[in-house]
Amino acid sequence: MNRRELLTTTLAAGAALAASPARVFAQAAPDLRTRRLLDVARREVSRAGSRLWRQDVVGIADFGLHSSQPRFHFVNLEAGTADSALVSHGSGSDPEHDGWLNDYSNLENSWATSRGAYITWEWYKGRYGTSVRLGGLDESNSNAFPRAIVMHAASYSTPEHVARWGRLGRSNGCFAFGPEVFPQALTRLMGGRLIYADTLGIAADGGTVRMPPQNPVDFRAIAAANAGRD
């Protein structure tokens, strides 16, 4: 092929690509909710830095949503996607048991959810079967390991429970998933990945959910009452 033929072929190929850019390069942009979750995941991965072993998938627990809503998000930073599941919060954080989280605590025996970033460690067999140990990376959840805050499966964290009671059951502060979801959480998040828990209130359409007013919680009184109980 001479120079003129090469130039003609190159220009023709370029024109063909320009004529059909949608077919060649089209890729759906993430929706607003996914973009917001990706932003949170990137921010928290950056904040955690080298303390994480893997940074491909992040779990985000949005406790600004009612427990009947899928509010635990598996955010894939490599694929730019997010899918969601039900997750329970701690009974100490919701003494009225109305499905809304009132507040967070890091106090031993508070049976409350703690706000902040966690790193997932190894799995083990415990009271709820296979579970994943967690380490708290922030001052607000620094007692996660001594409090035995873990990821585990529970029958009170299922769509069937929501259908019957209008809300999930409550944990002792752990991230409790339905038995059908937990294997996904185990395989996608274990091994040094990040979980982040906060009151974000990111709605399905990407807007913001406004929680109803919540009563203050006396965590010290709850902890005193729970001391010595299993």
Mean pLDDT for 38-65 is 98
Do residues 101 and 88 touch, judged by C-beta distance below 8 A?
no
Identify the pLDDT of residue 27.
Answer: 57
pLDDT tier at 100, thresholds 50, 70, 90: very high
pLDDT at 9 over 60: no
Identify the pLDDT of residue 133.
Answer: 97
Identify the pLDDT of residue 82.
Answer: 98
Domains of the chain: 29-226 (2.40.440.10)
**pTM greater than 0.85 (yes/no):** yes
pLDDT at 32 over 60: yes
pLDDT at 47 over 90: yes
pLDDT at 3 over 70: no
pLDDT by residue (tens digit) across 143-194? 999 999 999 999 999 999 999 999 999 999 999 999 999 999 999 999 999 9
CB atoms within 10 A of CB 135: 16
pLDDT by residue (tens digit) across 60-97? 999 999 999 999 999 999 999 999 999 999 999 999 99
pLDDT by residue (tens digit) across 103-129? 999 999 999 999 999 999 999 999 999
pLDDT at 216 over 60: yes
